[in-house]
Amino acid sequence: MTQTSESVTWLTQEAYDQLKAELEHLSGPARAEIVAKIEEARQEGDLKENAGYHAAREDQGKLELRIRQLTQLLQHAKVGEAPADNGVVAPGMVVTIAFDGDPDDTLTFLLGSREYVSDEIDTYSPQSPLGSAVNGKKTGDDASYELPNGSKAAVRILDAKPYQG
């Protein structure tokens, strides 16, 4: 089965290992801890009025959702293969743009998975309005995207380099 580029998430080996470790923890010890909390709360009696039981069930739902998200993400992850350093914007690239072509009004960000957000650099998903507008464009190209208020923003791609972090 061929994957479209939209369903593939590019991750560094470090990011992949970190997410895989989180998945293993959630699937093992964290899941067992939630089950124990539910059983403990169940022992307290009437489930309809048992706040501890309902809180533990809600935590279990959140945990299971995160496990499904991580499982899907890791199944479709492309690991350790940095994009080509050819000036074409793609997931895994650090992109610098200028708003309305103004070289003084710039933004530099990583085009990649929001699952691996770093303090070092802002991360924009390829599916975000800005990410989808610049994805596939080359250094020097112009792009536009719709802002949440419905107006359009114009940007020029100043630079696109593979992420080294």
Domain 9-79 has CATH 1.10.287.180: yes
| Rounded percentage of the chain residues whose pLDDT exceeds 90 | 47
3-state secondary structure of 157: strand
More confident residue, 10 or 102: 102
Do 9-79 and 93-162 agree at the fold level?
no
Asked if the model's pLDDT at residue 7 lies above 90, the reply is no
- What's the N-to-C CA distance of the chain in angstroms? 31
pLDDT at 1: 31
Q: Give per-residue pLDDT as tens, 125-151.
A: 888 999 999 999 999 999 999 998 999
Fill in the amino acid letter for 91.
Answer: P
| DSSP codes joined into one string, 59-114 | HHHHHHHHHHHHHHHHHTEEES-PPPSSSB--TTEEEEEEETT-TTSEEEEEES-T
Class of CATH domain 93-162: alpha beta
- Distances in whole angstroms, Cα of residue 141 to Cα of each of 60, 66, 98, 160: 47, 37, 11, 11
* Domain layout of the chain by residue ranges: 9-79, 93-162
pTM beyond 0.75: the answer is no
Encode pLDDT of 51-63 as tens digits. 888 899 999 999 9
User: What pLDDT sits at residue 116?
Assistant: 61
When the pLDDT of each residue in the chain is averaged and rounded to a whole number, the result is: 85
